[in-house]
Structure 1
Amino acid sequence: MAKTVFAQMGHKLARYRGRWLEELRASLAEKDREIIQLSRAQLRAKIKATARPPIGNGVGKKSSWTEMALIENEISKKQRFIPVRDLTQRAGQALIELKPCWMMSPLAVAQYVPKGSIQFDLCIIDEASQMPPESAIGALLRCSQAVVVGDTNQLPPSNFFKSVIEDEEADEDEAVLNESVLEMANGAFRPARRLRWHYRSRHSGLIKFSNRLVYEDALIVFPSPTEAMARMGVEFRSVKGRYKAGTNPIEAKLMIDAIVEFMQTDPDRSLGVVTLNQKQRDLIIEEFEYAIANNRSVQRYVESWKDRNDGLEEFFIKNLENVQGDERDVIYIGTVYGTEEPGARVMQRFGPINGLAMGLPESGG
C-alpha cells in the first residue's frame, strides 16, 4: 500500500515543472516572512494600545519627578540625561508598561535595575550551562517565576580569562568551574523538560557524532536534501603539526591558507574559525591580519559579511569558550593539541574540554 501511495504522489508531482514548484516555494517563503513581520507589528500595536503607564509626579523639583512625567521630560531633552539606573528606579512601572519584555545580561541587571525597583513576572535564563549561579542571583531575585534553559552537555562556566590574568602560566585544565545555574536548576526544579528536535545542522553528519555519543540517539534529526553534496557535512584534514606552549604554528599556517582560499573562491558563503584554546586563537588572528594586509579580495569578503544579514554572519575567529550559538555556512575547527616531537606521546591536557564529562559544543549549520 505504501509503495502504491508513493508511486501515485510521484506521478502527480511529475506533471509539474520544477521551475513552477520553485516559484511556489519562494512565494511561500516570502509570505511566511511577511506574516512574521506583521505579527511583530501587531504585537507592538497591541502593547501600545493596552499600556497604562502611571502618570507619576510631574510637579516640584525635577529630581522628584517619577514615572511617565519623568520619561516625557527625558524624551524632550537633548543632553544631560539622568543615569539609566536612576530612570529605572524612579520610572520602573511606566517602563514595564511600555516595554514589558527586557533582554539583559546579568551584569546589566545589576547595573541598571536597582533591587526593589522592578519586579518581573517571568525571568528566562538562556544558555544557562554557561552561567555561574552567582551571576543569575540578581535576575532571579527580581522575578516571580523562572525558566532556565540550556544543555548540560555543553561547556560549563569557565574562569579561564581570570586565570590568565592572574597567572599567564596557569594550566587551562584548572579553568573549568564545577557548577552552572542550569545544574542547580536541574536539581531543584521538577519536572525537567528535554527538547529533542535538532534544527540547526543542514547536514546530518554535523550532529551525528554528538547525537550518538552524547545524546544517546535521542535527538530527532530532520532529513536534508544536501546529504550527497560534496561541500556539505564534515571533512577531516590531517595536519602533522607540533604543539608546544599552547600553540600549534604549523596548524595555524595551514588554517590561514585554507581561510584565504575559501574567501577568494567561495565569497557567497559565510565562514567562522574555532580553536580549542585562546593562545591558538590569538596566533591565528595575528597571522590572518598579516596575510590579508595586501589582499584586496579577502578584505572585500570580510567587509561584505559585516553588512550582510545585519552582520549576523560576519567572519570570526574565536576560541571554544566564546563560540556557542554562532551559526555559519562553513566552520573551520582547529584541534590545536598534539605531540611536541615526532613519535612523542600526546599529553592528555585539552583545556576546558577536560572539564566535561561527555559533552561537546552544539553543531552549527
Structure 2
Amino acid sequence: MKEARMNFISQYQNFIAQHKGHSYFNFDFLEGEKIKNYSMIHRNLESYQEIVKELLSAFSAFQDFFEWKSFFLSLARNQRTLLIALIKSNATNWECALESWYYDCVLSKYENELGPFHQNNRLIKELSSLNQSLKQMQRNKIADLWAKRQLTSIKKFKSQTGNINSLYNYKKNKQYGRKNSLRKIIHTDFDLFTDFFPVVMVNPVVSSSILPLKEGLFDIIIFDEASQLRLEDTYTAYIRGKYKIISGDVHQMPPSNYFGKEIVLDIEEDDEDLEKDTNGMLDDSLEMADKESLLQFGVDSGFDKSYLDFHYRSRHPYLIDFSNAAFYGSRLTPMPEKYAYKPIRFLQVNGLYEKNRTNPAEAKSVIDILFNHIHPKENGDYPSIGIATFNIDQRNLILEMIQDECYLEEEKNRKHEKLRESGLFVKNLENIQGDERDIIIISTTFGLNSEGKFRQNFGPINQLKGYKLLNVIITRAKHRLYLCTSIP
C-alpha cells in the first residue's frame, strides 16, 4: 500500500509539473505539508483520481470556459447584463435575438424623435378614413343604381303583363291570395327577378330545377368548394355563366361518393364502323367525364390559376404548420399569434379499438375535455367547439355519451345548451369540410384491439387520395386543437 501511495504521489507531481505553465491551474494548495500528509491522501485517493480524470477529459472545454470567462470579465457592466439576459432567454438563434432586442431598444428610445414615421402614420390614418368614406359613397351609389333599375323593371313589367303584386304575393288577401312558386316567378320575368336579387346563392340541384336553362344567363358563376362538386352535377349551372370562377383546394375532399363504390363505365359497341367514326369524340367525352371533380376538370383544362398566399383560418402558425409543409410545399403564410400559447394538446389515451369500430376510452377523453376543460371567454360566451372522429361509429358513440352526461347532471346539460348555441358539432371526417371552429377535438379512434394487435386499416384514409381527408380534419381549428389518440 505504501508503494502504491508513493507511485501515485510521483505521478501526481509529474502532472503538476507538466501543467505549471498554465495560469488557469493552481495546484499550490496541494503542495507542502498537505502533500506530505499521506494519511489524508490515502483517504482521498479515489476522489483525487476521479478529479484528475474529469479535468483531463474536459480539458478542452475548460480552455473554452476560461477564454469565455476572461472575455466576459473584461466587458463593461451593461454588456454583461445583455449577455446574461441572452443566456437566460435560451435563444436558439443569438444573432436574431440580439438584433430583435437591439432594434426594439432603439425604436423605444427614439420613438418620439422619429418625425417622418409619425407623419406617415398620420397620412395612413387619413388615407384609411378617406377609404372608408369612398366605400360608403360606393355603397350609396350602388343602392341608388339598383333602386332605379328596379323601378324601371317594375314599370316595364306592369306595362307588359299587369300588376306586379299578383306575381310576388304582395299581400295574402282575397285579391292576392294565390301563391306562386319561386320557379314560376323566375320564369315569368327573369330580368325583373335579378334586378331585385342580383346575387343568387343556390346549390347545383336547385340551380337546375328553378333557373332557366340558358347559356350565359348570369354574368358570373362562382363555384365554391369545387373539389366536392361532380362535373355531371354542375354542368348545367356551369353553362349558365358568361364567366366562371371555380374555387377550391385540390388537397381537400373530393365528391362525397369518391370513397364509396367505384363507378365502372362499360360501353359495348356492336357497330365497329361507328366505333371508328366516334373514337376521338368518345375519348374526349370519357376524359371529361372521368374527372373526379369540377375543380380537377378546371385544373386539367388549363384554366387560369390564382393562389391564396395567406392562410386565414388558423390564428396560430402551429395549427397549419403540418399541412403547410406536407401538402402545400410551405407556400402558405400563416397568421402570427397575438400572444404566446400552446395551441395543440396531445393526449395519448391508449384505449382499445373494439369490434364495433369504436374506442370508448377516447370517447370518454373527449367528453372530459368538453365538460371540464372548455371555459367561457371574457364576454361570457363559450368558444365554438367541433368534435371530429375518424369514423361514423365513434361519432355516434360520442353523441350518445354527451346525451347521457346531460341526462345525469343538470349543470352539464346547461353547459351543453350554451355550447350548442356557440356552434357545437360532432362529425366524422367525411363530412367536416367547410366547417371551422375556435376549438377542434379530434378522436383518431383506431388503436390496439382486444388481442393487442394494431391493424393499420384506417378506412378511407388508406385509399390513394385519403390524405385529403386527413388534411381537412386537422385544419378546422382557429385557436386550439385537442388530439386524442390510441395509435401506438
TM-score bracket relative to the smaller structure: 0.7 to 0.9
Q: Quick check: 1:348 aligned with 2:457?
A: yes
Q: Which runs of 5+ in 1 are unaligned?
A: 16-30, 164-176, 308-312
Distance 1:49 1:353 in 2: 58
- Contact persistence 2:405–2:413 (CA under 8 A): no
Q: Which residue of 2 aligns with 1:170?
A: none
Q: Counterpart in 1 of 2:275?
A: none
Match of 2:395? Answer: 281
What one-letter code is carried by the residue in structure 2 that aligns with 1:207?
I
Specify the code of the residue in structure 1 equivalent to 2:407.
A
Indicate the percent of aligned positions where both proteins have the same amino acid. Answer: 27
- Counterpart position of 2:125: none
How far apart are the structure 2 equivalents of 1:254 and 1:40? 52
| Pairwise CA distance, 1:93 | 0.9
TM-fit CA distance, 1:338: 2.3
Q: What are the superposed Cα offsets for residues 15-59 of structure 1, whole Å, 9 maximum, x if unpaired?
A: 9xxxxxxxxxxxxxxx9xx98995895344543244442645558
TM-score w.r.t. structure 2 length?
0.58
Equivalent of residue 314 in structure 1, options 423, 433, 436: 423
- Counterpart pick for 1:47 among 143, 146, 154: 146
Cα deviation per residue 1:247-296 (whole Å; 9 max; x = unaligned)?
22222222122212134677632211111222221221122112112433
- Per the TM alignment, residue 97 of structure 1 is displaced from its structure 2 partner at its CA by 1.4
Structure-2 residue corresponding to 1:324:
433
In the alignment, which of 184, 189, 200 is matched to residue 86 of structure 1? Answer: 184
Instruction: Check conservation: 2:215, 2:241, Cα contact below 8 A.
Output: no
Matching residue of 2:365: 254
SS of structure 2 residue aligned to 1:293: helix
Q: Quick one: distance in 2 between partners of 1:36 and 1:102?
A: 26
Residue among 235, 239, 243 paired with 2:345: 235
Residue 193 (structure 2) pairs with residue 95 (structure 1): yes
Q: Is the 8 A contact 1:53 1:98 kept in 2?
A: no
Matched, 1:149 2:247: yes
Does the 8 Å CA contact 1:326/1:364 hold for their aligned counterparts?
no
In structure 2, the CA distance between the partners of 1:118 and 1:285, relative to structure 1 (3 Å rule), is: farther
Indicate if the aligned counterparts of 1:272 and 1:315 stay in contact, CA closer than 8 A: yes
Amino acid at match of 2:440: I
Deviation at 1:98, TM superposition (A): 1.7
* 1:188 and 2:301 correspond: yes
Q: Give the partner amino acid of 1:97.
A: D
1:104 aligned to which of 202, 207, 212: 202
CA contact (8 A) 1:206 1:364 kept: yes
- Asked which structure has the greater CA Rg, the reply is 2
Count of residue pairs brought into register by the alignment: 322
Task: Report whether the alignment pairs 1:270 with 2:384.
Answer: yes
Distance 1:113 1:238, change over 3 A: same
Q: Give the 3 Å change call, closer, same or farther, for CA 299–350 of structure 1 in structure 2.
A: same
Note the 1:150-169 alignment, pairs <5 A.
150-159=248-257
Deviation at 1:181, TM superposition (A): 0.8
User: What is the distance in 2 between the residues matched to 1:12 and 1:297?
Assistant: 55
Deviation sequence 1:88-116 (CA, Å, 0-9, x none): 11121101112211111112212321323
2-side partners of 1:304 and 1:40: how far apart?
Answer: 40
Distance 1:217 1:109 in 2: 38
Normalised by the size of structure 1, how large is the TM-score?
0.76
Contact 1:71–1:91 (CA under 8 A) maintained in structure 2: no
Relative to structure 1, is the Cα distance of residues 36 and 57 closer, same or farther in structure 2, using a 3 angstrom cutoff?
Answer: closer
Counterpart among 109, 117, 126 of residue 11 in structure 1: 109
Equivalent residue, structure 1, for 2:171 = 77
Counterpart amino acid of 1:235? R
Q: Compared with structure 1, are the counterparts of its residues 283 and 357 closer, same or farther at alpha carbon in structure 2 (3 Å cutoff)?
A: closer
Offset at residue 345 of structure 1 (A)? 2.9
* Distance across 2 between alignment mates of 1:335 and 1:112: 42
Tell me which of 439, 443, 447 is aligned to 1:338.
447
Spell out, residue by residue over 1:217-257, the C-alpha distance to the aligned partner (whole angstroms, 9 max, x if none): 1111232133x32xx41111112122233322222222122
- Determine the C-alpha separation between the residues in 1 that align with 2:435 and 2:257: 21
In structure 2, distance between residues paired with 1:117 and 1:90:
18
